[in-house]
Amino acid sequence: MEARVKWYKNPEMLVALSALFIGLVTAVISIYSAYIDRAYAKASVWPRIEIYRSYGEQKFSYGVANKGTGPAILHYAKVSYNDTVIKRWSERKEFRHIEQSHIGNITLPAGQSVLPVNYKGEHTSEILAADPYMYIELCYCSIYDDCWVVDRNNNPKSVEACSIDESQMFLQ
């Protein structure tokens, strides 16, 4: 009479279970590798917007720089003075003689900057007096639609999408 071999002692079953285990490990490693590749791809084009101020005896400017590794798609700017939203720099008398550049709805390449406000002249002290009351907020996204909001503190906060009420949007 032939003795029955238990299923887990059967050589064919051991080979099959080993192949199954190796296949599962390979699948997990492949999924993890794809996740890492995606994270690397996102990091290789990650924008980081910084808002800065520069001034001297007879000059003043606000600048926006992309210090990241990829382009920043700026969707909107929000500017307020003493908690009152302004739509154009010209709404403030201190900024009546400035040169300006548009900062809403632009794409800022990595390593590039733009000066939304640039002034040279004798009224610098007026602008400097108004500066502490100015609030500037920008919302920007990466090419992967990861979005952030940043203000003059330069601490980007992740957001789902860049959306703002039309009444709050800075027009330039």
Strand ranges across the sheet with 113-120: 49-56, 59-66, 113-120, 99-100
Predicted structure pTM score: 0.80
Task: State pLDDT tens for residues 107-160.
Answer: 999 999 999 999 999 989 999 999 999 999 999 999 999 999 999 999 999 999
Mean pLDDT, range 29-51, rounded to an integer: 89
Identify the pLDDT of residue 9: 75
Domain 49-168 class, CATH top level: mainly beta
Query: What whole-number distance in Å separates Cα of residue 60 and Cα of residue 7?
Result: 82
Residue 121: strand pairing partners: none
How many other C-beta atoms can be found within 10 angstroms of the C-beta atom of residue 82? Answer: 11
Identify the pLDDT of residue 111: 96
| pLDDT surpassing 80 at residue 7 | no
Query: What whole-number distance in Å separates Cα of residue 164 and Cα of residue 147?
Result: 13
Are the C-beta atoms of 74 and 166 separated by less than 8 Å?
no
